[in-house]
Amino acid sequence: MNTTGPQIILGTMDFGTRVDPDRAFAILDSFVAGGGVWLDTANCYSFWNDPRGLGGASERVIGAWLKARPGARDSVRIATKVRHNPLVPHSPETAEGLSARAIHAGVEESLGRLGVDHIDVLWAHAEHRAVPLEETVGAFGELVAKGTALRVGAANHAAWRVERARSLARERSLEPWTYLQLRHSLVQPRPLTPIAESGHRMLTDEDLDLARSEGLAVWSYSSLMWGSYVRPDKPLPSTYDHPGTTRVLAVLDDVAEEFSATRNQVVLASLMRQGIDPIVGASRVEQVGEALAARRVRLGDEHLARFAEAR
């Protein structure tokens, strides 16, 4: 299993809801056949699209696929998250949170749905400041000590909270968060302009500085902006409507032509060139092939400099 260097991560958020199990199985098969390794899910996916109003559909599909493919567990690594699964159907305000009890219960349910005995990376899906950070860190550390989770990470957390949690873990000889997951793409919203998705946290220079200084892995979500780079029917959100976006897209077209690649492939290649692992949500098999082919687009420092200057 080759996991060296930045990789394409398969996002499975819509599996079992917007993507039916048969299509999801085909996508997973194609991803593994193409050399893909990491699957990213969450225990809350996707309660907002599930008639039951609860999460778990994505994990159940992955679990069914693993059961139907003997030996497949040896070919993939699984990352899942706790924090946002509602305790009451259709009621996100009842989210489980990050208490020790909620973390242990959430992970136990995830293991059951996935049909596995451990999770390769367990994420805290978002901050939960109503719970002492010491309690959250302790629960994550206990799961690693038991072998239930091999590594732990923080999604949508402020950099200072991540480092505070890592310090608490070190003080208690517990496994610290070593993975970060934040929203990032080639185009950027207008500075100081809130994005529409309130639960999303954008990757910042401070996050990258922390990651590079401490040797943390960085995963990016919404990397392809929901198809907006290539689909005229899905324009970029209004917060991205500024001159920098126009300039970046012009450079993107030039670089895509230079490499005989698609816009999406160049975007993914630019993230990997920065040491970031982009998560790609696929709803069709052909999207998997396009994404994995981005590994062959070898951008240089000069290409990154052109994008940076365009912003």
CATH code at position 148: 3.20.20.100
Q: For the residues 50-73, what does the mean pLDDT come to?
A: 98
Distance linking the first and last C-alpha atoms of the chain: 37
Tell me if 108 is assigned to some domain: yes
Q: For all residues of the chain together, what is the average pLDDT?
A: 97
Q: What is the pTM of this model?
A: 0.96
Say yes or no to pLDDT of 220 above 60: yes
Distance CA 159, CA 127 (A): 11
The predicted structure's pLDDT at residue 2: 40
Tell me if 202 is assigned to some domain: yes
Q: What is the percent of the chain with per-residue pLDDT over 70, rounded to a whole number?
A: 99
Tell me if 132 is assigned to some domain: yes
Tell me if 4 is assigned to some domain: no
Q: Which residue range is the domain that position 164 belongs to?
A: 9-310
Tell me if 3 is assigned to some domain: no
Q: Helix (H, G, I), strand (E, B), or coil: what is residue 275?
A: coil
Tell me if 2 is assigned to some domain: no
The predicted structure's pLDDT at residue 35: 97
- What's the total number of domains in the chain? 1
Q: Helix (H, G, I), strand (E, B), or coil: what is residue 218?
A: strand
Distance CA 246, CA 236 (A): 11
Q: For the residues 80-97, what does the mean pLDDT come to?
A: 98
Backbone angles phi, psi at 99, to 5 degrees: -70, 160
